[in-house]
Structure 1
Amino acid sequence: MQHIHCYCPQSWDKALFDRVAVLMQQLRPQYPTETLSALLAQQVDDGYKMVLAQNAQHQIVGIAGYVLGHKLAWGHYLYIDDLVVDEHHRGQRVGQALLDFCQSLATQHHCDSLHLDSGSQRHRAHKFYLGQGMHISSFHFTQAVNQP
């Protein structure tokens, strides 16, 4: 098993956004990498944070994008918006390292809970999350608005 180092970058530049966008495209293939890079920069400006997982060769092999917040239903929470592991590094405990790091962040920020949504078609991801002690607490419903 390779050593994985997880961290939250203290500062961002275009080169780092571009590197992250290449990997994020594996989760969000509907966006070109240039668009993803710009969208990630916008989200960071709006309070979105990212945990990066690097291997010993300093390659970014996983990302967890999250926000902190408070809701009546959840109390103070950490919500993982995006969790992606490079397809060539799956099964190497990168996802576990990212989730463990996010759980540690939730504890540090005195959160009551940690949440994420996973697409209904992502059966391998569901098996992973359940194996990490998470449970399915609800169904997430959505409706498009202001679209033709």
Structure 2
Amino acid sequence: MTLKKKLEDIVVPSILVAGCELVGIEVVRGRRIIIRIYVDKKHGGVTINDCAVISRKVGCLLDSEDIFPVSYNLEVSSPGFDRPLFSYAHFVQFIGFEVNLVLHFMLYGRRRWRGIIKRATEDGSIILTVDNKEVHFMIDDIQKANLVAHS
């Protein structure tokens, strides 16, 4: 079982009890481990109180499961305007929106891409319109994806 899957299994019940849904989890390893949990709520959006309640519950669960032998920082927040996209379903949900992608490797000489999500195919590829051209990306090749926030 992957670390993200194990974390999801631990945190999802607490998120659901708070009336929210899990958007995704990021684990950033550096001097200190950072666990970022993004949650959303269908009606009315996530409040600071929602995040605080989830953070307390999840923090206790993670400590009791002893997943990380070293100290870590836990961050619980709404996905925000520059919402991260973690799954195929997220790309489908945001067809027509502008997105920034970072790939695990170079494609056509670059790792960073910005374009409009045109389509998501059943084989797991994401098609962006970049500079009036269609560019295909396999979802497994995407390291990070975020919607572009427009003011």
Q: Name the TM-score, length of structure 2 as normaliser.
A: 0.34
- Structure with the higher helix share, 1 or 2: 1
Q: Name the TM-score, length of structure 1 as normaliser.
A: 0.35
> Based on CA coordinates, which of the two structures has the bigger radius of gyration?
2
- Structure with the higher strand share, 1 or 2: 2
